[in-house]
Amino acid sequence: MRILTAVLRTIRNSRRLAAGLIILGVMVLLALFSPVIVNAIGGGKDPIEVAAYEKWLVPGPGHLLGTDQFGRDVFAMVMKALSVSLQIGAIAGIISTVAGVIVAFVAGYKGGWIDGILSTFTGILLVIPTFPLLIALSAYAKNVSLFQVGVMISIFSWPFAAKTIRSQVLSLRTRPYVDLARVSKARDLEIIVTELLPNLLPFIGVGFASSALGAIFGLVGLEVIGLGPGGVVDLGQIIYNAITTGALTLGAWPMFVVPIVLLTLLFAALNMVNIGLEEVYNPRLRGVAGE
Binding site for another protein (CB under 8 A): 2, 6, 110-112, 173-177, 179-186, 188, 195, 198-199
2 touches 194 (CB < 8 A) = no
Smallest distance from another protein to CB 4, Å: 13
Nearer to another protein, 18 or 170 (CB): 170
Smallest distance from another protein to CB 92, Å: 29
Closest by CA to 48, choosing from 72, 29, 65, 68, is 72
Nearer to another protein, 184 or 249 (CB): 184
Smallest distance from another protein to CB 170, Å: 10
Nearer to another protein, 161 or 191 (CB): 191
Q: Which residues of 232-265 are buried (b: 16+ CB within 10 A; e: fewer)?
A: bbbbbbbbbbbbebebeebebbbbbebbeebbee
Smallest distance from another protein to CB 172, Å: 10
Nearer to another protein, 49 or 188 (CB): 188
Smallest distance from another protein to CB 73, Å: 50
Alpha helices for the chain (secondary structure H)? 2-13, 15-32, 34-42, 74-110, 112-127, 130-140, 146-172, 176-183, 188-190, 197-224, 235-245, 254-281
Nearer to another protein, 2 or 142 (CB): 2
Q: Is 131 helix (H, G, I), strand (E, B) or coil?
A: helix
